Amino acid sequence: MDARRESEATPMKNRTTVERKSERELVVTRTFNGPARIVFEAWTKPELFKQWWVPKSMDMFLRSCEMDVRVGGRYRLVFGHDASNPAEFFGRYIEVTPHSRLVWTNEEGGDGGPVTTLTFEEKGGKTLLVLHELYPSKKALDAAGTGAADVMKETFEQLDELLVALGASVGR
């Protein structure tokens, strides 16, 4: 409720929410101050997509971006300053409904990749964007969240503390 009040008070900056809806699903939502056709365009035209996908605060460089936005069409994003050491993200579009719905696979990680469903809901000139990621298993989503080496390291560092705390609660 606070969030709603906040976004009304400052219409220019809408809130991004991320929620783990279930063991296998992550949902990201955000409202944009423009019609669905414009937001859809920004997601499906490489020259526009490139302008926002890598925020300036991120130390990443989008080398190339190919999108064949039609059912069965493929996309490929290549990151990295160094051509010899690229990071690639790719998959294919399963559903394409102009201005309202896009569904694509994420295949760079093999079978563990999620299927992403993006919906554009226009209301009063604004568009609610809902990005839904469905992982093939709970394990795959857990791995996406905790798999990064730095996160694991941090978590292990905290594990000793946790064990002490658990020991204390068992002992009670």
Partner 1 sequence: MVQYLRARLDASFAALSDATRRGVLEQLGRSDASITDLAEKFHMTLTGMKKHVGVLEQSGLVTTEKLGRVRTCKLGPRRLEEETAWLERYRQLWDARFDELDKVVEELKRKEKVDGRKKRE
Binding site for partner 1 (CB under 8 A): 12-14, 16-18, 20, 22-23, 26, 28, 30, 32-34, 38-39, 41-42, 48, 51-58, 131, 138-139, 142, 145-146, 148, 151, 154-156, 158-159, 161-162, 165-166, 168-169
Smallest gap from Cβ 92 to partner 1, in A, equals 22
Smallest gap from Cβ 75 to partner 1, in A, equals 16
* Residue whose CB is less far from partner 1, 22 or 97: 22
Identify whether the C-beta of residue 29 lies closer than 8 Å to the C-beta of residue 129. yes
Instruction: Give backbone dihedrals phi and psi of 90, rounded to 5 degrees, phi first.
Output: -150, 165
How far separated are the first and last CA of the chain, in Å rounded? 38
Smallest gap from Cβ 76 to partner 1, in A, equals 18
* Residue whose CB is less far from partner 1, 55 or 110: 55
For the chain, where are the alpha helices, taking DSSP H only?
2-9, 36-44, 46-52, 138-146, 149-171
* Residue whose CB is less far from partner 1, 23 or 66: 23
Identify whether the C-beta of residue 121 lies closer than 8 Å to the C-beta of residue 102. no
* Residue whose CB is less far from partner 1, 87 or 166: 166
What lies within 8 Å, CB to CB, of 96 at 6+ separation is 69, 70, 71, 73, 102, 103
* Residue whose CB is less far from partner 1, 29 or 105: 29
Smallest gap from Cβ 120 to partner 1, in A, equals 12
Smallest gap from Cβ 7 to partner 1, in A, equals 13
β-sheet with 25-32: strand ranges across: 17-22, 25-32, 126-134, 115-123, 101-105, 87-97, 74-79, 62-67
